[in-house]
Structure 1
Amino acid sequence: MLSTEIASFRQSLRQQILSIHSRPSDQGLFEQLALTVFRYQALHNPIYRDYLQHLAIKPDQVTALRRVPFMPISFFKNHNILTGFQPQPDTLTFASSGTTGEQTSRHFVSDPDLYDAISIGIFEQTYGSLGNFHIVALLPSYLERNNSSLVYMVQRFMTQTGSDKSGFFLHNHHELTEQLRQLTQEPDQKKILLVGVTFGLLDWAESGQDLSFLGQNPNLIVMETGGMKGRRQELLREEVHQILIKALGIQTVHSEYGMTELLSQAYSNGNGLFQPSPTLRVFLRDINDPFLIYPDDYKRTGGINVVDLANLDSCSFIETQDLGQYDGNEGGFRVIGRFDNSDVRGCNLMVI
C-alpha cells in the first residue's frame, strides 16, 4: 500500500498527466513532468531503482530528459515492474503473446481508468470523437487469448462509439465483408474504422472477394497494427500497404504503434510516419551504445527509446528492441525493424 503522502503525490502526477492532453505541443512541460515522474519511479519502483544503482546513476543529478536511463523492455518478462503498489486479485494484467513455453511480458495496470482516458484521448485528438465511428476489428490471435492490451483498448473504443454495428471478427472473412458493405450503405455518414493485425488484413484482402467497393467510401479508415505472428512471411510495411491499397481500392493505410509494455499509442495517417502523442515521446539511441541518445535531426537508424507518461505505475522509460528513424520537425518517427536476435514482439508491430 502507498503511504498517504506518496499516494497524494502520485495523485498529483496523475492529474498532471491527464491535463497534458490540453497542451500536447508544450515540449518544456512534457520534459518537466517526465523528469518528475522519473524521480518518483526511481524512488518507488524497486526494479528500476536497482537498475539505476547498478548504473551508478543518482536521480537527483539527472536534469535533462535525454540523460534519463531507459529500462530494457525485457525486464517485463522476468520481473514485476511496479511503482508504488502490489498487484491485487482484481489488478488488470496485460500479457504479450508468445510461442509455447516462451516467457511473455506482463504489464500490471492498477489504474484502468487512467489507461482508458489516455488511450481514448490520444485517438480522439488524432481522429475525432469516437461517437462518430463504427469500429470493425479483425484481430485473430489476439481474440484467442483473454489478456491482450490491443483487444482491451479496441473494446473500450467500441463502447465509446455507442454503435451496435461495431464488432470483432476472427477468421470469418465473408461476414466481415458483408458487414463493411452494409456500413458503407448506412445513411448516418459515420466514419468506419477497420482495424486489424497485419496478417489478418492480408489474409482477408487475398481471400478472393471483391472488395473494390471499399474504395468508394471516403469515410473508411483502414488501420494496421502490425504483426505477422509467424503466420506469413515478413514484409516491409510499405509492401503490406501497397498490397492492401491495391486489393481494397483505397488511397492510404493508417498504422498504430503500441505494445503490451506501453499504455500510450502513436498513430500514422499514412506512409508509416508516426506522430508522438501528448503522453509519448520517442528518442533514438546508438545501436552499439545504448546510453548514447541521438539528436533530433540525426538521420541514421537507431534503437527506439520511449517515454510513456501513462506508465505511471510501472516504468515510463523503456528501451525497446525496435529500430527507427526520425522524420519531420514535430517528433515524427518511422519504425523500420528490430534488432537482430531479439524476440518477436508479442503485440502491435510488424517485424522485418
Structure 2
Amino acid sequence: MTIAEIEAQFTGLNRGDSSFAEIEQVLETYQRTYCEVYRRFGEKHLPVSAFKHAEIATFPVSEAECVFVSSATGSGLRSRHFVRRLAVYDASVCAAFEAVFGKGPYTIWAHLPGYSTESSLVCMLKILIQRYGDERSQFFLASEPPGNLDATSPLVLFGAAFGLLSLSEAGPWQLPQNARIVETGGMKTHQRDITRRELHARLAEGFGIQEEHVWSEYGMCELLSQAYAQGGPVYVPPPWMHVRVVDPHNPKQILSDGQPGLIAVTDLANIHTVSSILTEDLGVSHGEGFEVLGRFPGSALRGCNFLLESA
C-alpha cells in the first residue's frame, strides 16, 4: 500500500479491520525512514513533548500547508504540528464527526475565547461549520450565547471546559432540549480544580439540558484525529485511531482494562509526522474505548531526555 493510497483510504477502515496493522507498519517504516527524530528515538511511541522541541516531519517543513500550534504550557514551549496536506485533516475531522452526529445540518456554535487562529481546534470547528453548519453557525466570544436560543437545526455548542463553565455561570440559559454541548477539555490550564463529572453536571444545570447531552471531545495539536464521549466518561476513537493504556515506566507493556496508565495513541491520519504518540494523559481502557483520568504527575516521561540529547 502506498502513502497516496493511505491518504485516500484511511477513513474507510472499519473497527477491527485487519488492514489497520498493515497501514500502521507501512507508516512506521515511512516515518522512520524520513523523520530523523523518530528514527533516532527508536521506540514505537514518540513522546508527545517531541513536538515542542523538534520539527517532527517526513518532509521539508517549508512545504507544510498549515502549522498547528498548541496553547502555551507552564514551560512556555508550544508544540508545532506541520500538516503536509490539509485534505487529510479535513477527511479525518469530517468522518469522525459524521460517525457520531450524522450529516446535519446543525447550528454549530464555537466558544473559544483566548484560542489562537493557529489552534487545531479552531481549524477543526471552521471545517465543521463550513461542512455541517447552517446559516446561524458561528464562533462567538461574548459572555452569552448568540441570538435566539430556539435554533431551527439541532444545536451543537463546542467549547473548552472552563470557557463553557464561565459562560454557563453568566446565565442560567435555556438551550433547546435536543441541544448537545461538546467540551473539548482544557481543564489542566485553569486554576480551579474540578472533575469532569462535576463539570458536566454544572454545564447541564447552567444551560438547562440533561446531563447526558453534555459530551466530550478528545484531541490535541499533535494528533489529526479526534475521539468523542457521548454522555459519559468513555471516549470511543474512530477505526483509524487505536488507543492503548501502557505502563508509564515501560511503555511497551499494554495494561488491562481498568488499570491506570499512560494513554498511547496510534493515529493513522498522522501520515507525514509520527503516527504513534505517547501522551502525557493518565487513563484507563474500557474495551474499545478509554477514559481520561487527568495529567500524568509531572508529565516528564523517560525517553524525553534521550530525545532532547539526540535530536
Tell me the TM-score normalised to structure 1 length.
0.80
Give the match's secondary structure for 2:237.
Answer: coil
Q: State yes or no: 1:148 paired with 2:141.
A: no
Q: Using the TM superposition, give the Cα deviation of residue 292 of structure 1 relative to its aligned residue in structure 2, in angstroms.
A: 1.5
CA contact (8 A) 2:105 2:134 kept: no
Matched letter for residue 160 of structure 2: V
CA distance in 2, matches of 1:221, 1:341: 34
Which stretch of the first structure deviates more once superposed, 232-241 or 305-314?
232-241
Q: Using the TM superposition, give the Cα deviation of residue 220 of structure 1 relative to its aligned residue in structure 2, in angstroms.
A: 0.6
Q: State yes or no: 1:161 paired with 2:132.
A: yes
- Cα deviation, 1:42-89, whole Å, max 9, x if unaligned, reads 22221111111xx6xxxxxxxxxxxxx101111101111112x11226
Q: Using the TM superposition, give the Cα deviation of residue 162 of structure 1 relative to its aligned residue in structure 2, in angstroms.
A: 4.9
Q: State yes or no: 1:243 paired with 2:236.
A: no
Where does residue 143 of structure 2 map in the other structure? 173
CA distance in 2, matches of 1:28, 1:99: 38
Where does residue 220 of structure 1 map in the other structure? 179
| Aligned pair partner of 2:45 in 70, 74, 79 | 70
CA distance in 1, matches of 2:68, 2:156: 24
CA contact (8 A) 1:223 1:254 kept: yes
Matched letter for residue 138 of structure 1: H
Q: State yes or no: 1:114 paired with 2:114.
A: no
CA distance in 1, matches of 2:133, 2:215: 23
Q: Using the TM superposition, give the Cα deviation of residue 100 of structure 1 relative to its aligned residue in structure 2, in angstroms.
A: 8.3
The percentage of counterpart residues that share the same residue type is 36
- Cα deviation, 1:273-324, whole Å, max 9, x if unaligned, reads 10011221101111322222224xx321010000000000000000000011
Structure 1 residues 210, 238: closer, same or farther in 2, change over 3 A? closer
Where does residue 103 of structure 1 map in the other structure? 77
| Structure 1 stretches of at least 4 aligned residues deviating more than 4 Å after TM superposition | none
* Structure with larger Rg: 1
Q: How many residues align?
A: 298
| Aligned pair partner of 1:293 in 250, 254, 259 | 254
CA contact (8 A) 1:115 1:263 kept: yes
Matched letter for residue 70 of structure 1: H
CA distance in 2, matches of 1:101, 1:337: 18
CA contact (8 A) 1:199 1:229 kept: no
- Cα deviation, 1:17-42, whole Å, max 9, x if unaligned, reads 1432xxx2234222222122112212
* Superposed counterparts of 1:267-278, under 5 Å: 267-278=228-239
| Residue ranges of structure 2 left out of the alignment (5+ in a row) | 301-311
Structure 1 residues 46, 279: closer, same or farther in 2, change over 3 A? same
Matched letter for residue 31 of structure 2: Q
Matched letter for residue 106 of structure 2: F
| Aligned pair partner of 1:203 in 166, 173, 188 | 166
| Residue ranges of structure 1 left out of the alignment (5+ in a row) | 1-7, 56-68, 344-352
Aligned alpha-carbon RMSD (Å): 1.9
Q: State yes or no: 1:258 paired with 2:219.
A: yes
Structure 1 residues 40, 227: closer, same or farther in 2, change over 3 A? same
Structure 1 residues 106, 38: closer, same or farther in 2, change over 3 A? same
| Aligned pair partner of 1:26 in 8, 11, 16 | 16
Q: Using the TM superposition, give the Cα deviation of residue 232 of structure 1 relative to its aligned residue in structure 2, in angstroms.
A: 3.7
Greater fraction strand: 2
Where does residue 311 of structure 1 map in the other structure? 270
CA distance in 2, matches of 1:100, 1:17: 35
Structure 1 residues 127, 97: closer, same or farther in 2, change over 3 A? same
Give the match's secondary structure for 1:291.
Answer: strand
CA contact (8 A) 1:307 1:317 kept: yes
CA distance in 2, matches of 1:89, 1:318: 23
Tell me the TM-score normalised to structure 2 length.
0.90
